[in-house]
Chains A and B, each alone.
Chain A
């Protein structure tokens, strides 16, 4: 799939802006603070109905009542006009002019894979960051996953509230605890099965992508680390005592983690900054491939400020690969001095300055 045009109105530092994107590589060049990342963020928000790094209201231009982002998306399903309107009193997501009320019906119309500097948290951050990554990505690919996840979170809230009511000397209704535990386990098992299958598929693809990027025989591994090894229902039932004592549910998908191993060692503590960045990039490349296989639709690849962190050879390897696969990519950079002429020649180049985007024509 690809985006033909993006139109922004009062989005971040853009007052009014229309951009016609090329189907392959699109470079957005400018100094820091001019609006490159903001443009990327608008495409991400159109896909996921929210930003990856800010509250909704932060995306509205200063002193404007609302912001609007709009994209014309071409996919195998035909052309879809997506619109996201962010206002003080809430937001609206529209597809072909019709408001889409259920998040799970909207997310997935436009698929994106994002590499942002913040993604470094995937390797070295906390399990919360990694679960968030899993949930956002899986939610984009499989809309039933979002339903399973929200059923799980709701049942978890109910069960934790009941556990909180247990006081020494005041017992709670055990039948109700059993019932809520069964509900939690049923929704939780669905979440676990999907996470587990996803990580197994991503593992093989990411290992290959890492070798491609590093040009060395290095071995990247992704492992699912569920909070309990056994089936969820017996696991929860065996731990009633500790749950009642602590007044909360101590095990389940809300405590899962995802591990990265580089050459057999945990990447969070042993991989260098540069290696961690390459791991994230390899995961993103694997993700592109995975989405393409499962959805029969090639996602957009959004790369924010990735080039400056890679050496010249790796920059060109990455971009040439993207160019050859024909994926639509939006790449931000401060300059293109290290990029080979044939790659630049195939791409569309935009200059970003003070909230205005202008296409730069080759040879100028």
Chain B
């Protein structure tokens, strides 16, 4: 037996979310019908509509914002000599939560991966090149992931910037802080030893 058409439509919408399969989508849809009162359902729909219409990418760095420019770019107290390059807006929130970095960001919205159809054109790189030519910018910190794609993206940016005076750095990989060595996997340990520093 099939679900009524409007319920089926709701299930289909939930299934578009990452990590949500048919079964979970059915649970969400039935929950919406049974458990949410009219007001809550309305609030949910409004929240989606509002977020979608008010949130956009910061024209400078590509981070998410509901203002003209993002919180970081608009802050005059941030250190404008450094730009930290990340794959996604989620990474910005993680680093901000850590609270130790006071420079600027640049969000690529992905990483280079021909098998997924992502080339340099598909990334938010075009707006990075004029930024790095600004007088005050001295260092580009590349913080893309430690995956083949993240590494390829880092190497690509380094290549493009190789004839500039900029200091191009890559974040370090190693043993998680507060963890014993025995819990690190072999590849991480090998990297940590390769990238050791004088002490």
Contact = CB atoms under 8 A, between A and B. Distances in A.
B190 interface: yes
Interface stretch (A147-155, A212-220, A272-280): A147-155
A182 interface: yes
Interface string B141-168: 0000000110110011001100000000
A155 B186 contact: no
Nearest to B158: A179
Contacts of A102: 185
Nearest to A177: B114
Contacts of B156: 175-176, 179
A255 interface: no
A158 to B, nearest CB: 5
B148 A155 contact: yes
Given A147-B187, A158-B113, A161-B114, A175 B160 contact: yes
B168 to A, nearest CB: 14
B186 A144 contact: yes
Contacts of A155: 148
A157 B155 contact: no
B155 A179 contact: yes
Contacts of A161: 114-115
A318 interface: no
Given A173-B119, A176-B112, A178-B159, A158 B152 contact: yes
B187 A183 contact: no
* Interface footprint category on A: 20 to 34
Interface in B112-137: 112-115, 119-120
Contacts of A183: 148, 151-152, 155
B155 to A, nearest CB: 4
Interface string A173-199: 101101110110000000000000000
Interface in A87-124: 102, 104
Interface in A216-272: none
A175 B120 CA distance: 10
A67 to B, nearest CB: 27
Contact of B120 (A154, A173, A182): A173
Contact of A158 (B120, B148, B160, B185): B148
A346 interface: no
Contacts of B119: 162, 173, 176
Contacts of A154: 148
Interface in B26-40: none
Nearest to B115: A161
Contacts of B159: 175, 178-179
A155 B152 CA distance: 9
A151 B187 CA distance: 11
Interface of A: 102, 104, 143-144, 147, 151, 154-155, 157-159, 161-162, 165, 173, 175-176, 178-180, 182-183
Given A161-B114, A176-B152, A180-B114, 17 more contacts: A143-B186, A147-B186, A147-B187, A154-B148, A158-B113, A158-B115, A158-B148, A158-B149, A165-B114, A175-B156, A176-B119, A176-B156, A179-B159, A180-B152, A182-B155, A183-B151, A183-B155
6 shortest interchain CB distances as A-B pairs? A161-B114, A162-B114, A179-B155, A161-B115, A179-B156, A175-B159
30 contacts: A144-B186, A144-B190, A147-B187, A151-B148, A157-B115, A158-B113, A158-B114, A158-B115, A158-B148, A158-B149, A158-B152, A159-B114, A161-B114, A162-B119, A165-B114, A175-B120, A175-B156, A175-B159, A176-B119, A176-B152, A176-B156, A178-B159, A179-B112, A179-B152, A179-B159, A180-B152, A182-B155, A183-B151, A183-B152, A183-B155
